[in-house]
């Protein structure tokens, strides 16, 4: 599996499911706990990403940096509850096979 920065990641657990409203639509966000695969190199387009910086949870929560909506809420939930759903419980279905 590859993350948004085109790095290899191994999903470990589901931190939570979050429903939120954006403009005139409802969205469902899935927060995952992942592990960075060995020898992963971050590759990104400077046109799309201004900077990349590794931060721990406390640094993020105390930062004035503007993060995507919901990031701080997910991390606060994780710090408060420390609950996760093992990733093995997540099932993927390829519905294209059923409807093609």
Asked whether the predicted pLDDT for residue 60 surpasses 80, the reply is yes
Average pLDDT over residues 84-89: 81
Burial 30-51 (b: 16+ CB within 10 A, else e): ebbebeeeeeeeeeeeeeeeee
Asked whether the predicted pLDDT for residue 57 surpasses 70, the reply is yes
Asked whether the predicted pLDDT for residue 59 surpasses 90, the reply is yes
- Give the pLDDT band (50/70/90) at residue 93: confident
Name the more confident of 40 and 30.
30
């Amino acid at each position: 599996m590859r993350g948004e920065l085109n790095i290899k990641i191994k999903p470990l657990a589901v931190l939570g499911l979050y429903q939120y409203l954006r403009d005139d639509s409802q969205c469902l966000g899935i927060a995952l706990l992942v592990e960075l695969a060995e020898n992963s190199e971050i590759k990104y387009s400077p046109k799309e990403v201004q900077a990349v910086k590794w931060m721990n949870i406390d640094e993020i929560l105390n930062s004035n940096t503007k993060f995507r909506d919901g990031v701080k809420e997910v991390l606060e939930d994780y710090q408060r509850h420390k609950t996760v759903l093992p990733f093995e419980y997540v099932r993927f279905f390829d519905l294209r096979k059923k409807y093609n």
